Structure 1
Amino acid sequence: MNARESPAPSFEPCEPMRIGIIDGHPDGDPARFCHALADAYADGARQGGHEVRSLRLADLDFPILLDRVSWEAPHACPDLTDAQDLVAWAEHLIIVHPLWLGTQPARLKALFEQMFRPGFAFKAGRAMTGRLTGRSARIIVTMGMPALVYRLWFGAHGLNALKRNVLAFVGIRPIRETLIGNIEGLTLEGRRAWLSSVKALGARGR
């Protein structure tokens, strides 16, 4: 594990909070490291005295949006209701996903499009106003390339778009990130180290 990519900084413990975790890997295979990371954060958060609710993208059944009329109309999908309820309940959101072609998987983007609708996530009008203020977030991303390459060469464009155009747009801030590079080359010890770091973040509610 590259020391420059490791989430090593320590944080002061915070007051117990409501933490909503979105496991954004579309593949339900238990071997996917994103699932282990989401579970590690949840375990740490519970040990830290926080309330935790989790949502697994691989378990959800919802349509993709195809037109503006559908986006502006109320949805009638139970899984989307559960997703919005988790966001509305949470004070701190954790989004875990793999990097696919520089950004989040299409299925996760489709979930964001469905969840963050006008009326729920922001007030539409001449000046759109976010309605999800008072919440913070952390995005945890796994990727095949070194995290430093993603930041410096590619400009972390997919991550920045999620932070700025989705989360900050609806009022969520501050937004922190943890980037885990060289995922295919990580040794067992390296994976355990990352799980330990993410669990510690969960315990601190960061």
Structure 2
Amino acid sequence: MTEQLNAEEQALAMKTVEALLKNRFNASFYPTAQAALAELLNVIPPDATVGIGGSWTLIQLEVVEKLEARGNTVYCHHKPGLSPEEILDIRRKQLTCDVFLTSTNALTEDGRLVNTDATGNRVAAMIFGPKKVIVLAGVNKIAGTVDEAEERIRSKAAPLNNKRLNRPNPCVKTGCCVDCQGPTRLCNVTTVIHKRPPASDIHVWVIGEEAGY
């Protein structure tokens, strides 16, 4: 988390929010990650089932711990000690939960969400299934175009995610994607959500500081 935005960064954040609204997303701006977290805990009912997409932003904010502490049923597939069968079951439950929380690998200035997944459960839940989807995105995720968003994923998000998950893929050492072909590859599915699908309730919260990667 970083200090508040300068005037140029603030203008970019607000321009992105306006573009998201034009693309039919529900979009809001929060000056800090803590402000977004407070609102998150306010809008999610204590009895709601909540799915968690893989997200360093949510880990930083300790969202899972806070929701479980107040009684929410949380479907989080990256808890330690889960078997492959349990992980698969949790991922399927995320698709039909009340609220699905995630971040986005990149967000374009003209209001598109760009993501690359290993399994595809995160992007699947973002597009269709849960009753509500809330995407928390720091201003560091904003890219000019879809091409720039995909480059951001290749040069930043993917290598850091591989490192965090201890995957023995080349980008951990090179610092950028080399289009590896091994069985531990994380970059298998790339999606661009250009506009909010009509049957989905997607909320994108742009945070006025860096959050996640």
TM-score for both structures, normalised by structure 1: 0.44
The TM-score, its normalising length taken from structure 2, stands at 0.43
